[in-house]
Amino acid sequence: MLRRSQVPWLVTALGLALVVPAGVSDASVQPRVAAPSAPGQVVTVPGWKLQTSKTATQGGATLSSPTYDDGSWTSVPARSTVMGGLVAAGKYGDLNYSTNLKNVGKSDFSVPWWYRETFSATPAAGSHTFLRLTNGIIGGSEIWLNGTKIGTTDNGAYPAHEFDVTGALKTGTNALAVKVSPADPKKQLSISWVDWTQLPPDNNMGIWRDVQLAESGSVTVRNTRVVTSVAGDLKSADLTIKAEVTNNTGAAVTTTVAGTVDKTAFTQQVSLTANQTKTVSIAQHLTNPKVWWPYEMGDQPLYHLALNASVDGKVSDSAATDFGVRDVKSAMKDGAMSFTVNGKPFLVRGGGWASDLFLRYDAQKLGDQMDYVRDLGLNTIRLEGKEENDELYEIADKLGIMVMPGWECCSYWQSYGSWQAADHTVAKASAVTEGLRLRNHPSILGFYIGSDTAPPAAVEKDYLDGLKVSDWQAPVISSAAKATSPQTGPSGNKMDGPYWFIPPNYWYGNQLGGAFGFASEVGPGPTIPDADALKQYLSPAELSDLWQNGSKAQYHLSPSGEFSKLGSFLTALGKRYGTPKSLDDFVSKAQMTNYEVNRAQFEAFGRNQSKASKPATGVIYWMLNNPWPTLYWHLYDYSMQPSGSYFGAKAGLRPLHVQYSYDDRSVALVNTGLDAKAGLSVQTTVFNTDGTVKSDTTQSGVTAKGNASTTLDKVANPSGLSATYFVRLLLKDSSGAVVDRNVYWLSTKPDTLKYDSSTWYDTPQTAYADLSGLQNLGTGKVDVAASTTTSGDRSTTSVKLTNSGSKVAFFLRATIRKGASGGEVAPITWSDDYVTIWPGESVTLQADYRTAELGGAQANVQVAGVNVAAKTVAAAPR
């Protein structure tokens, strides 16, 4: 953490004498946590009592008195914005349903709120206790301890603060009170949600990250970090271990800094004058280092660094961090940003991350979401202005998922002309804090210092100077848009849309958001959850409007005019698939639409990575998830029930994948692994909707190049095709086993686009593919066999689907249900879903989930398709 002696803009303790105010309760107050009692120990405040200043009208001196009675205040978790805390305490109804969120009174958050906690302490002679705010308090704050005003914080969301509270600490019960001011993302370097979702009524004011008490002796250790330099052949690495050591006394002192990395020990003597801070720098060399890779390319080993500072043979403070040995670089390729990891080209295929709307921390849901990232086949997530808690980066390190954090668009972060001197201070401190917090994580791919614009020279200098404090090594990117800043230069990114519906062939075009260069945020807009999820969030009237009234604004779409109505999506749905006849029909057609267009997006960028000219270097799907239940911009919805968006993307992101090209009908193989795969064959079959085989060919002796795409023969275009038809691709290994299977539903009539009428978010269509034949497939028949095995707290259900009829069984969706009539189990990962099988064909699907999600019920499997009636079977234990 940062100290005033290291960074001049952080606030220090005032050192006032403890005053016990008059008029407080004489009631005995039991402290709720104990302060650290040994050097190097850190205790996190475990929770708070919360109250509005409309009710708690006394000043900080009174409210921070250990004898003040806060029994009527609301108990909230440790990381709680005001709304987040009130929601956790059950103060509101279901804010996810219908327009309930709109009914929360914003005036409640136009005044300050108080946070309060008590703790016991037994200060020892010569010890020092520090109060740490791991990030800024949103809205700004006053900090009070035992009747003494310790200091204030600015209104930035990110700058860390540390206060030496030794002089205000007392033996026995202590009370900490924090007065939080209202937040305004239009006037503060805070947090905003732009057009992602309906907005939180409190603007996220409050304590959103950990508050800690840390104990030390006369010398403290802070900002432990490791600078790595990896040899090109990866056979050695040089480490520079750095940390700041500070003498907290008025007399000179000598400290011994000792540590270990991978069982190698080292020491260094450091002499400090009174109240001096020095940076310790210790060199280490690794032979044959354990190199960290993104998961598609290799393993994710981590090293552990432990440091301590001793004075007169006694430990005064200690610190530790994990880090990875890897090399990340960026360069321009035909004007586009491109990355290498450990010298190997790295095609970014990721999604835009959204934090919870109230910035609540849920460890289980965070882990589930990161598991979804891996299951989808994504290799990167991009964070825009909500840099998330430490746990996300720790999981990313372990799972091998790259992360691209950065600052926010469309708020005060980009209102550079309105900034005052204090804003520049906050901006620099934000970069210092986030740089020190993130720089040791091998999962960091780069940092965006601008989003929709690049920062001007003075602001760019603030950010770069701030990152330099942390010895930042990952690439720094000037903007997520096509823009340039004076020092960082051109971004190599493009942000040309789309953000709203476009058909699959759009991605194969050579304009705007097509699959070339680095697209920092693009996606096909509306992403409709399955009916189970929709009914959790929408009223009957909203459900009716959803499929019948595309011109009506939906509250669960965006608050912005561009994205508040389904409009063109509903038009395209009707023209391509046929006008929806019911809610279920609409949902079914939406899943087909979301599946085909999401698959095409990732497939196009995967294929085009190996083009000689204007190759694809990266794409971030906009977005990965939602902060609150919405009907657009996600690969999985808020309920965590994966649907068409999810499985279309998952199909297009398979590690060894055979795919169809919408522009030239070619077949391509995409291999995300570093090693080539030989001895493969590709069977391509073209079917009419009645099941007639119009073409069936096999290309043998195929090799999928490593970390690249390989273009194969074109799909036949035989005469006599029905207006809607199918292409099935089977990738087989040398033994004939199927390793990848894809089915495309196509039309002899193409989708066409009017590029010259494009806006920043949309390219309109002028003609539509004819996929209406999918409504006239005839009745399909599928046999379902299912069984479940359980190991520990996990269950795996195996589902075998066999087409026992005479018609194609199209777009079969399997779900695990809680008993015979219960809801859908989620979160859950499937090997595949929404599959299409022809007469005599079988596929086996596997689902993995927490056994507890069944709620004690029997696992059942429900299977339904476009032309196959729903069927439910028991998945009996095996």
pLDDT score at 821: 86
What is the distance between the alpha carbons of residues 758 and 557, in angstroms, rounded to a whole number? 21
Across the range 331-359, mean pLDDT stands at: 98
Task: Name the strand (E) or helix (H) holding 81.
Answer: strand 80-81
- Six-digit token string for 97: 């349903």
pLDDT at residue 851 greater than cutoff 90: yes
| pLDDT-above-70 percentage for the chain | 97
pLDDT tens profile 653-686: 999 999 999 999 999 999 999 999 999 999 999 9
Across the range 729-739, mean pLDDT stands at: 98
Across the range 834-860, mean pLDDT stands at: 98
Across the range 787-816, mean pLDDT stands at: 98
pLDDT at residue 14 greater than cutoff 70: no
| pLDDT-above-90 percentage for the chain | 95
pLDDT tens profile 451-476: 999 999 999 999 999 999 999 999 99
- Six-digit token string for 250: 């008025």
pLDDT at residue 1 greater than cutoff 60: no
pLDDT score at 18: 27
pLDDT tens profile 271-283: 999 999 999 999 9
pLDDT at residue 7 greater than cutoff 60: no
Q: At which residue do the structure tokens 């058909």 appear? A: 503
Strand spans (E) along 770-841: 782-791, 794-803, 809-818, 829-830, 835-837
Residues labelled as active-site residues? 452, 521
What is the distance between the alpha carbons of residues 315 and 318, in angstroms, rounded to a whole number? 8
Task: Name the strand (E) or helix (H) holding 739.
Answer: strand 738-747
pLDDT at residue 753 greater than cutoff 90: yes
pLDDT tens profile 217-227: 999 999 999 99
What is the distance between the alpha carbons of residues 204 and 359, in angstroms, rounded to a whole number? 7
Enumerate the β-bridge partners of residue 848: 796, 829
Q: What is the dihedral of CA 408, 412, 418, 419, to 10 degrees?
A: -70
pLDDT score at 176: 98
Q: What is the dihedral of CA 453, 456, 457, 460, to 10 degrees?
A: -50
pLDDT band for position 8 (cuts 50, 70, 90)? very low
Enumerate the β-bridge partners of residue 802: 783, 842
pLDDT score at 607: 98
pLDDT at residue 6 greater than cutoff 70: no
Q: Which of 152, 128, 120, 130 is nearest to 139 (CA)?
A: 152
pLDDT score at 30: 80
pLDDT band for position 410 (cuts 50, 70, 90)? very high
Across the range 301-312, mean pLDDT stands at: 98
pLDDT tens profile 370-394: 999 999 999 999 999 999 999 999 9
What is the per-residue DSSP string for 89-145?
TT-SS-TTSTTGGGGS-GGGGSS-EEEEEEEEE-PPTT-EEEEEESSPPBT-EEEEE
pLDDT at residue 764 greater than cutoff 70: yes
What SS3 string covers 480-535? CCCCEECCCEECCEECCCCCCCCCHHHHHCCCCCCCCEEEEEECCCECCCCHHHHH
Q: Which of 453, 522, 550 is nearest to 762 (CA)?
A: 522
Q: Which of 865, 863, 870 is nearest to 816 (CA)?
A: 863
pLDDT tens profile 531-590: 999 999 999 999 999 999 999 999 999 999 999 999 999 999 999 999 999 999 999 999
Q: Which residue has the higher pLDDT, 437 or 18?
A: 437
- Six-digit token string for 793: 């707290």
Strand spans (E) along 204-261: 206-207, 211-216, 219-230, 236-247, 253-261
pLDDT score at 214: 98
pLDDT at residue 626 greater than cutoff 50: yes
pLDDT band for position 2 (cuts 50, 70, 90)? very low
Q: Sheet containing 161-164: which strands, arranged edge to edge?
A: 42-44, 211-216, 128-133, 161-164
pLDDT at residue 5 greater than cutoff 80: no
- Six-digit token string for 281: 């720098």
- Mean pLDDT for the chain overall: 95
Task: Name the strand (E) or helix (H) holding 469.
Answer: helix 457-469
Integer angstrom CA distances of residue 574 from 550, 754, 770: 11, 19, 10
Q: Which of 684, 691, 667, 662 is nearest to 729 (CA)?
A: 684
pLDDT score at 29: 62
Q: Collect all residues with Cβ–Cβ distance below 8 Å to 831 and sequence separation of at least 6.
A: 845, 846, 847
pLDDT band for position 32 (cuts 50, 70, 90)? confident
pLDDT at residue 820 greater than cutoff 90: no
pLDDT at residue 175 greater than cutoff 90: yes
pLDDT score at 21: 33
Q: Is 645 helix (H, G, I), strand (E, B) or coil?
A: helix
Q: Collect all residues with Cβ–Cβ distance below 8 Å to 804 and sequence separation of at least 6.
A: 781, 782, 783, 839
pLDDT at residue 22 greater than cutoff 90: no
